[in-house]
Amino acid sequence: MVLGIDNILLSDEGAGVKAVEELRDRYDCSGAVEIIDGGTMGVELLPYFEERSHILIIDAVKTGRKPGTIVRIEDPPAYFSTKTSPHQIGLADVMGIAVITDIMPQYITLFGIEPKQLSTGLDLSTEVAQNLSRQVDIVVAELKKIGVDVQPKNQ
């Protein structure tokens, strides 16, 4: 599963959701992959964790790097112990429940992009917008690495 999470009403905080939209627009993924716009959902995401071997999360993450920087974080539950955006408490709770109920996927990887602005607005900052396609390409490369058939759509 590829899961985009973020709040599209807070500028760069919407990068994860916009990335999964671009992934859907640009690529055909095999039936082995479900692409989910998780928005700001919390425990409502729990059913999506069941019977998954891999979950790739796309999110805006504050790491202190230059805005637009893309990061790859394996085993992100520890990362979510520090709150960087409103929805992460819900995601941390989901991951905790998934561990307790033994439905936590074996592989979870977070593909984050450093936000520049988190103020109210629908548009991404220039730095994040310029790197969004690159972030999607990195996620596609990861899907291919784990054996998912991903093909560009005819434009």
Q: How do residues 113-123 score in pLDDT, each as one tens digit?
A: 999 988 888 89
For residues 111 and 142, the answer to whether their CB atoms sit within 8 Å is: yes
pTM: 0.85
Q: How do residues 9-51 score in pLDDT, each as one tens digit?
A: 888 988 999 999 999 999 998 787 999 888 877 778 888 888 8
Q: Is the per-residue pLDDT at 78 higher than 70?
A: no
- Angle of helix 126-145 relative to helix 15-26, nearest 10 degrees, comes to 60
Per DSSP, which regions of 1-96 are E strands?
2-5, 27-29, 35-39, 54-60, 70-74
For residues 37 and 4, the answer to whether their CB atoms sit within 8 Å is: yes
In order of start, what are the domains of the chain with their CATH numbers? 2-152 (3.40.50.1450)
DSSP 43: G
